[in-house]
Chains A and B, each alone.
Chain A
Amino acid sequence: MIPSAFTFYKPDNIDKAVSLMADFGDEARVIAGGHSLIPVMKQRLTDIKHLIDLSGINEIKGIEITDNQISIGAMTTQVELINNEELFKIAPIIREASLQIADPQVRNLGTIGGNVANGDPANDMPGLMQLLDATYKLSGSNGVRDVKAREFYEGAYFTVREDDEILISISFEAPSGGYAYEKQKRKIGDYATAAAGVILKVENNMCSSASIALTNLSDTPVYCNKAVDIILGKEIDNNILTQVIEACVEQSDPVADQRGPVEFKRYVAGIVIKKALTRAIERT
């Protein structure tokens, strides 16, 4: 459980970090909270020659809220997301989901940037960002660009981020309507057996807006566009809900692991989606 040797850098601004990344190409890796990266380094599952610590870069830390627009620096820790009252007021689902990540020790160090950039389908934040239709700001040697969270993930640990790009912030519009993030796990500190988030608004008895996303039920987070299409503009009844759940489960593609076989995970997916829908509707 000892990583192979690496050189450590701690730049104090994003340009320096980007230029280090450009210099070393795929031999370099940024480290944020280290709670996904260090375990794989210790198991020598990845060979990193140059480690660039982002914790000295203040410009990518903190939460900014202007009107309805929320922007979160990549180096904001999960505990900061939980403790920020302004954020809770305007987007309570962030706290609800963050509290279901790992345990307090992990959340004290783990960052939102590391969580979404990692590309691990088991991470909760990527699913949440599907739900919120967030935008990721990436900075690389070719400048800064925006990528939609819904277009960011390509496969397990594969994203559209270029090797020399660093995620600097995540922004989204404050959601409105009822919300819920439901996660089944084996114990505290475990990734999801299945998790689902729902944000949904009901006006004049009709579902006027909706978003549904899944965590750890495919090799990427799943935005359930088909289910959303089914529910939008409809009056919500059991029949619609059943169709919505079916459409979500249809879009899932889990793999077997120690949490259980595929058949079980798909079944539980249906249950957590149902719970999330029910709670979100209750909160409208």
Chain B
Amino acid sequence: MDDVKTPSREERKSALSGLGTSRKRVEDARFTQGKGNYVDDIKLKGMLFGDFVRSPVAHARVKNVDTSAALALPGVHAVLTAADLEPLGLHWMPTLAGDKQMVLADGKVLFQGQEVAFVVGDDRYAVADGVSLVEVEYEELPVVTDPFKAELKDAPILREDIADQKEGAHGARRHPNHIFTWEAGEKEETNKVLEEAEVVADEMVYYHRTHPCPLETCGCVASMDKVNGKLTVWGTFQAPHAVRTVASLISSIPEHNIRIISPDIGGGFGNKVGVYPGYVCSIVASIVTGVPIKWVEDRMDNLMATAFARDYWMHGKISATKEGKITGLWCHTTADHGAFDACADPTKFPAGFMNICTGSYDIPVAYLAVDGVYTNKAPGGVAYRCSFRVTEASYFIERMIEVLAQKLGMDSAELRSKNFIKKEQFPYTSALGWEYDSGDYHQAWEKAMTSVNYKQLREDQAKQLQLFKDGKSRKLMGIGLSHFTEIVGAGPVKNCDILGLGMFDACEIRIHPTGSAIARLGTISQGQGHATTFAQILASEIGIPASDITLEEGDTDTAPYGLGTYGSRSTPVAGAATAMAGRKIRAKAQMIAAYLLEVHDDDLEWDVDRFSVKGAPEKFKTMKEIAFASYNQAIPGVEPGLEAVSYYDPPNMTYPNGAYVVVMEIDVDTGVSDIKQVYALDDCGTRINPMIIEGQVHGGLTEALAISMGQEIAYDEQGNVMTGTLMDFFIPTAWETPNYETDYTETPSPHHPIGAKGVGESPNVGGVSAFSNAVHDAFKPFGLTQAHMPHDHWRVWKIAKDLGLHS
């Protein structure tokens, strides 16, 4: 039978759509047809709706909450206030950062938009009417919006509940509005190096307050089944298992009686990691009313009240020799946490991984201190598409490099090159204590500089500058460089936990008799495409085509325990668990194959999708055959079935990195910037799905563009949110989004089972510095050293004005 061709090894491999394949996203069929299933799509019998009465003011005593008119309204079933929650001990709740937060205003409000009462009614209309009828009497108090004024002697005390507490969750507090001081590195030694240095650059770098603003806002449906005592909550949760444990701890409902389900999530970006008053109130309301309760934020609620990101004032000093060899780095950060410390960081890291702020550079000594303070702003401080303050750290060092280059009179590309950690230095221990796993920064940098033709760009820029100086043009050209190193994949249980829960993750695999499979993970996709990529990892590990593997996440009753998806941890941690579970499957499969082929285990070798006898490749058993055998053969010493589970505790973090270049043209009169080129080279180790990587990079770059060029949560002095709608909160459309050129180098992580490092957040981390540096670079010839983001039209115009370019 000549016409039956045995597929070649390569053909068998490509039939798997495993690692390295640009497999199409399996999620998209339902999303592009409007068939996703989001929280707001969940409709249960008898379900009621809930919504909040929110504070219109930023700081006030709540003298009285009168719910009678609202309760009298037909269609309104209940109105919860702090007084109702207090007997249950639920008027306050713990935050992920070791602080506590009011669920409903307990005598006081501390930020505009704070939850004061929860109205439950038949439908959204009845509830909205009810909300407008709740009368709250406020006695306004002086407002603190400036973190530098929070610790003044006569500053109004925001958190009266802990005013006298000298010890916080992270050590000593020196003022009622002070949360913590967190230090890393060598203070004395760094100061000494700075004092004796030939050159020191000193700058205040502000990374403004912004917001992850996922297109789907936060929400949940809570359903307490009074017959069996089981609570089910569908919600926009980036960490469903952690939510279950926290819910059990604060509600005293046994954990086995709580089921948390994250259905499809329309973007998270860190906004959906924390626990919000809406969840608690929905649960309580469901217990009280005995029917399911739905709560879904509107856009203004989301921007005003659920977790913001950044808001770090980073004062830096960086020293170097005259030749540009960096000798030390010092940083003091004032972190504006808003009214409650509700950051979602690993517990031992109150300032997240801000101590990655030595970046990609071999800096011998460094010191970092972060002071967290309370202000009358919304709580949060979440990792907006980044791993716990890595964006802040990366922006800080990439600005400091630019400022130092300016001071040295040196090209900043050259300065970077001169100070990169060298390939042979990996694994590299940084001055602030991290062990970088791998990297080849010089290779990436050179590739980037060649690809964009850096020399030519600088020549073009000089020409444009001359035209400007000659009065022939009102435009300046800016070249923004950035080289970032992230620290992702939290993380090793020895130093990473959230509220005591170790940050491992898990995968459970079950192979069906006919050779297809289901895999369940402790993570939850919010657009990352886990169902696509994790199936690819498995396909390569166990030789079953990716299309024959179902992937499930987000249901705590069925998925193994894991800490969820944020901080680029899914691939580094759950991806590793997937590979390890796959290897356990393979180990058992090998025993089964040996039995079937009547050889010793060691006589077999793995060959893409089968075990074959060493030296006799025509004798083999495919994974499909082995799967079937595992269900129908009585194999001595081997249990039936083919399943495995792996709980993976990563030995280290992974360190994705990359080199980005942005070129823009800036009109000094209008402040309008025109982005001419965006080049992004990413090294995320082993590349699982190049197409998904590219998609992630495009998305992250667009967020970076938004953040650096206009997106912010702005407050006026009274603490009013000035950017409460998408008219003022910048989300780029296709129109504002430039073309992106993506590129890569591939330096696998040595400790990850497949060498993958994670990429979803890299473009946000690296992109912001590149865009912002381009703006700074344009004005560098006129002496600009630092101008805070966002670089929207008027702020760019102001730079030009202050430099005297408008006369």
Contact = CB atoms under 8 A, between A and B. Distances in A.
Interface of A: 1-2, 4-5, 43-44, 103, 184, 186-191, 193, 258-261, 264, 267-268, 271
Interface stretch (B462-470, B588-596, B727-735): B727-735
B741 interface: no
Interface in B694-716: 710, 714
A44 to B, nearest CB: 7
B291 interface: no
A1 B710 contact: no
Given A2-B128, A4-B132, A261-B794, A187 B733 contact: yes
A271 B669 contact: yes
Contact of B793 (A5, A43, A44, A260): A260
Contacts of B794: 193, 259-261, 264
B739 interface: no
Contact of B710 (A187, A189, A193): A187
Given A1-B298, A258-B714, A264-B798, A189 B733 contact: yes
Contact of B797 (A187, A191, A264): A264
A189 B125 CA distance: 28
A1 B300 contact: yes
B736 A1 contact: no
Contacts of B298: 1
A260 B736 contact: no
B733 A188 contact: yes
Contacts of B735: 187-188
B40 interface: no
Nearest to A189: B733
A258 B733 contact: no
Contact of B124 (A2, A191, A193): A2
A217 B806 CA distance: 21
Contacts of B670: 184, 268, 271
A260 B806 CA distance: 17
Contact of A258 (B128, B723, B801): B723
Q: Which of B299, B728, B794 is the most central at the interface, judged by chain A CB atoms within 10 Å of its CB? A: B794
Contact of A2 (B125, B299, B732): B125
A244 B665 CA distance: 29
Given A187-B736, A261-B794, A267-B797, A44 B132 contact: yes
29 contacts: A1-B298, A1-B299, A2-B124, A2-B127, A2-B128, A44-B132, A184-B670, A186-B710, A186-B730, A186-B793, A187-B710, A188-B735, A189-B733, A190-B727, A191-B727, A193-B793, A193-B794, A258-B722, A258-B723, A259-B793, A259-B794, A260-B793, A260-B797, A264-B793, A264-B794, A268-B669, A268-B670, A268-B671, A271-B670
Contacts of B300: 1, 43
Given A1-B300, A44-B132, A267-B806, A184 B736 contact: no
A184 B127 CA distance: 40
A273 to B, nearest CB: 12
Contacts of B727: 189-191
Given A103-B733, A187-B736, A188-B736, 9 more contacts: A2-B127, A188-B733, A188-B735, A258-B722, A260-B792, A264-B798, A268-B671, A268-B793, A271-B670
B27 interface: no
Contact of B730 (A4, A187, A193): A187
B369 to A, nearest CB: 33
Contacts, number: 64
Contacts of B728: 258
A184 B710 CA distance: 15
B129 interface: yes
B672 interface: yes
Interface of B: 124-125, 127-129, 132, 298-300, 669-672, 710, 714, 722-723, 727-728, 730, 732-733, 735-736, 792-794, 797-798, 801, 806
B733 A267 contact: no
Contacts of B714: 258
B129 A4 contact: yes
A5 B129 contact: yes
A259 B797 CA distance: 12
Most buried by B among A5, A261, A268: A268
What 8 A-B pairs come out closest when comparing CB atoms? A260-B794, A2-B128, A1-B298, A188-B735, A264-B794, A258-B728, A188-B733, A271-B669
B793 A187 contact: no
A146 B17 CA distance: 71
Nearest to B722: A258
Contacts of A268: 669-671, 793, 797
**Interface-centre pick from B722, B727, B730, B733 (highest chain A CB count, 10 A):** B727
A262 B789 CA distance: 20
Nearest to A256: B794
Which of A1, A43, A191 has the most chain B CB within a 10 Å cutoff? Answer: A1
B309 to A, nearest CB: 19
Nearest to B129: A4
B806 A186 contact: no
A193 to B, nearest CB: 6
Contacts of B723: 258
Nearest to A263: B801
A44 B130 CA distance: 13
A39 to B, nearest CB: 8
Contacts of B669: 267-268, 271
Nearest to A188: B735
Nearest to A261: B794
Nearest to B725: A39
Contacts of A184: 670, 672, 793
A246 to B, nearest CB: 15
A189 B792 CA distance: 16
Nearest to B736: A187
Nearest to B125: A2
Contacts of A1: 298-300
A4 B131 CA distance: 11
A74 B125 CA distance: 31
A186 B672 CA distance: 8
B805 to A, nearest CB: 12
A184 B722 CA distance: 21
Contacts of A190: 727
Contacts of B732: 187
> For B714, B735, B797, which residue has the most chain A Cβ atoms within 10 angstroms?
B797
A135 to B, nearest CB: 32
B628 to A, nearest CB: 54
Contacts of A259: 793-794
Nearest to B706: A187
A5 B130 CA distance: 12
Contact of A5 (B125, B299, B722, B733): B125
A188 to B, nearest CB: 4
A191 to B, nearest CB: 8
Nearest to A184: B670
Contacts of A189: 727, 733
A188 B727 CA distance: 10
A219 B300 CA distance: 26
Nearest to A1: B298
Contacts of A186: 710, 730, 792-793
Nearest to A275: B670
A268 B727 CA distance: 20
The residue in A2, A4, A103 that gathers the most chain B C-beta atoms within 10 A of its C-beta is: A2
Nearest to A185: B793
Nearest to A265: B794
Nearest to B297: A1
A43 B792 CA distance: 27
Contacts of A103: 733
Contacts of B132: 4, 44
